[in-house]
């Protein structure tokens, strides 16, 4: 049985993670999806790859799509796919006996994207653009895990 103090704490906890009736984690997931979409578009149009022209002076730069072909779009879409997958995992209900399994899956996917962003930032210039997406997803997962945590009944 929950006392009035416990009920107030639980209502305050829920209200602090909601903005205009939506969960804060939802906004962060949408921000990550937007970052993933921008990353996908940058893969197609941002000139980050320098090609040796054989002349002295400034060398021409081309987009990854222009240099490597359409197959690179699959790699550019990974942050978008991970963002949508984490969003779906965070929206799942706790109806089964493994209540935290969707959140654990979201933690794993978000952490793997952060590792990929770190590796990509060191090896490719485009990797640094994935970092905000990973940070948004980690924050959303953390907030969602806090929302799903059992409420203390003081």
Residue-wise pLDDT tens digits, 20-39: 546 788 899 999 999 999 98
Under-70 pLDDT residues of the chain: 1-22, 93-99, 124-125, 150-154
The C-alpha atoms of residue 90 and residue 94 are separated, in whole angstroms, by 10
pLDDT of 97 reads: 46
Q: Give pLDDT, residue 29.
A: 94
pLDDT of residue 5: 53
Task: Work out the number of other CB atoms within 10 angstroms of the CB of residue 120.
Answer: 20
Please tell me the distance from the alpha carbon of residue 105 to that of residue 89, in angstroms, as a whole number. Answer: 7
DSSP class per residue in 82-120 = HHHHHHHHHH----SS-TTHHHHHHHHHHHHHHHHHHHH
What distance in Å separates the CA atoms of residue 112 and residue 141, rounded to the nearest whole number?
Answer: 13
What CA–CA distance (Å, rounded) separates 151 from 15?
13
Q: In terms of Cα–Cα distance, which of 60, 67, 10 is closest to 43?
A: 67
pLDDT value of position 6: 52
Beta bridge partners of 47: 63
């Amino acid at each position: 049985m929950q006392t009035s103090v416990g009920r107030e704490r639980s209502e305050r906890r829920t209200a602090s993670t909601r903005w205009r009736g939506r969960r804060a984690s939802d906004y962060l997931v949408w921000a990550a999806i937007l970052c993933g979409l921008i990353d996908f578009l940058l893969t197609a149009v941002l000139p980050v790859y320098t090609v040796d022209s054989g002349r002295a002076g400034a060398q021409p730069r081309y987009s990854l799509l222009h240099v490597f072909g359409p197959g690179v779009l699959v790699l550019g879409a990974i942050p978008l796919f991970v963002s949508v997958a984490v969003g779906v995992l965070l929206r799942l209900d706790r109806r089964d006996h493994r209540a935290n399994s969707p959140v654990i899956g979201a933690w794993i996917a978000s952490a793997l994207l952060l590792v990929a962003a770190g590796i990509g930032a060191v090896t490719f210039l485009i990797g640094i653009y994935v970092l905000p997406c990973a940070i948004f997803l980690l924050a959303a997962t953390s907030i969602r895990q806090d929302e799903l945590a059992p409420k203390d009944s003081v």
